[in-house]
């Protein structure tokens, strides 16, 4: 069984001051404080914009201050949600290569790059004639967005050609069979490229897992169904404003143990329910429930 790492989706949240970060903490100290408690973090900000090389090197320098710290990086939406949906792969390949040079390579050379997360668009479908089943998916068929299996192969190959362990998150139900499991053809594509299937706990997609890689990637979004489908128009963070209780966390323990027993590398678990400091609290509690040892150099938690 591989090692289990638990962390959060991001660290730069001012509302964590007083609930996770010490009162009076400045944003310049957030990452340093974060790495005193967790050894892995998912960089969500890269989804919205590609940071400068100097920013990336600053992150790497901070990670290097404490043994065993790493970053997992989310692929920019311009690539995963736009260029990946185009008729040609050329622009996607060029943009990903530039993203790799700016972000992935510096982190990899510094020894602190973990996995790379490719979160597909809700429009990224296997076939255009399959009815949508998830509330968060588009309600009208859009055949022009149907890229299918060939593009999935292209994405997995592209990621394999660049640094980082690779993980892919589906968000369209056309990739699922009637039992809400990943269809075999998609599983085989991921497996042939060593790409981990991302397992999600949240309102918009079922909890699915498959043996496709030597590592696992799990994301906890919260279970705020009302906020997920209605509240996000005026408040994007409403989707993630949810605190898991102990029973809800415990309900996933056996599944996580089974998933982690199938790999010989890391099983990474990230909590994305960041509002009000819920994520680090739930992440720390999950470490206790799974009996995950606190990372080397970690301080006692502050709450």
* Cα 199 from Cα 244, distance rounded (Å): 17
* Cα 298 from Cα 5, distance rounded (Å): 13
* Cα 116 from Cα 75, distance rounded (Å): 7
What is the pTM assigned to this prediction?
0.92
Note whether 23 and 17 are within 8 A (CB): yes
Instruction: Provide the residue-wise pLDDT of the chain in tens; the chain has 303 residues.
Output: 679 999 999 999 999 999 999 999 999 999 999 999 999 999 999 999 999 999 999 999 999 999 999 999 999 999 999 999 888 899 999 999 999 999 999 999 999 999 999 999 988 888 655 554 555 555 544 444 456 899 999 999 999 999 999 999 999 888 999 899 999 999 999 999 999 999 999 998 999 999 999 999 999 999 988 877 775 566 778 889 999 999 999 999 999 999 999 999 999 999 999 999 999 999 999 999 999 988 876 765 544
* Cα 202 from Cα 207, distance rounded (Å): 8
Non-local (6+) Cβ contacts of 243 within 8 A are 222, 273, 276, 278, 281, 282
* Cα 23 from Cα 206, distance rounded (Å): 38
What is the DSSP secondary-structure string of 3-58? PEEEEEE-S--GGGBTTTBPTT--GGGHHHHHTTT-SEEEE-GGGT-PPPHHHHHH
Non-local (6+) Cβ contacts of 233 within 8 A are none
Note whether 163 and 105 are within 8 A (CB): yes
pLDDT score of 303: 44
pLDDT score of 80: 96
Note whether 181 and 208 are within 8 A (CB): yes
DSSP 8-class letter at 58: H
Indicate the SS3 state at residue 40: strand
* Cα 169 from Cα 181, distance rounded (Å): 13
- Give the 3-state DSSP-derived string for 201-221, with helices as H, strands as E and coil as C: ECCCCCCCCCCCCCCEEEEEC
Q: Determine the Cα angle at 249 with ends 245 and 253, to 5°.
A: 160
- Domains in the chain (CATH in brackets) are 4-289 (3.20.20.410)
Q: Where are the beta strands (DSSP E) in 207-299?
A: 216-220, 267-271
Indicate the SS3 state at residue 240: helix
227, 178, 236, 185: which is closest to 204 by C-alpha?
227
* Cα 184 from Cα 208, distance rounded (Å): 13
Helix ranges, 103-252 (H): 105-109, 149-160, 184-193, 225-229, 246-250
Indicate the SS3 state at residue 166: strand
Q: Which residue is associated with the tokens 């588009």?
A: 138
User: Do you know the residue count of the chain?
Assistant: 303
């Amino acid at each position: 069984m591989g090692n289990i790492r638990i962390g959060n989706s991001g660290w730069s949240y001012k509302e964590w001051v007083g609930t996770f970060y010490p009162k009076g903490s400045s944003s310049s100290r957030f990452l340093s404080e974060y790495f005193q408690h967790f050894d892995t973090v998912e960089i969500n900000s890269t989804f919205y914009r590609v940071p400068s090389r100097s920013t990336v090197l600053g992150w790497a320098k901070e990670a290097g201050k404490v043994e065993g710290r790493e970053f997992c990086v989310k692929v920019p939406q311009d690539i995963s949600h736009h260029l990946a949906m185009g008729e040609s792969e050329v622009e996607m390949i060029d943009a990903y290569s530039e993203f790799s040079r700016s972000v992935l390579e510096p982190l990899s050379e510094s020894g602190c790059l973990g996995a790379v997360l490719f979160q597909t668009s809700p429009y990224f479908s296997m076939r255009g004639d399959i009815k949508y089943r998830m509330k968060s998916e588009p309600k009208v068929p859009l055949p022009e967005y149907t890229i299918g299996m060939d593009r999935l192969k292209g994405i997995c190959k592209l990621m394999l050609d660049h640094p980082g362990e690779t993980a892919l998150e589906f968000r369209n139900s056309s990739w699922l069979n009637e039992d809400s499991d990943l269809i075999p053809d998609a599983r085989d594509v991921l497996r042939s490229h060593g790409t981990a299937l991302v397992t999600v706990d949240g309102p918009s997609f079922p909890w699915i897992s498959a043996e496709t890689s030597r590592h696992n990637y799990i994301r906890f979004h919260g279970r705020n169904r009302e906020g997920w489908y209605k509240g996000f128009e005026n408040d994007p963070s409403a989707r993630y404003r949810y605190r898991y209780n102990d029973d809800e966390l415990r309900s996933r323990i056996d599944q996580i143990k089974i998933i982690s027993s199938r790999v010989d590398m890391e099983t990474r678990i990230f909590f994305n329910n960041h509002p009000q400091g819920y994520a680090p609290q739930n992440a720390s509690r999950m470490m206790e429930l799974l009996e995950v040892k606190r990372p080397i150099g970690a301080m006692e938690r502050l709450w």
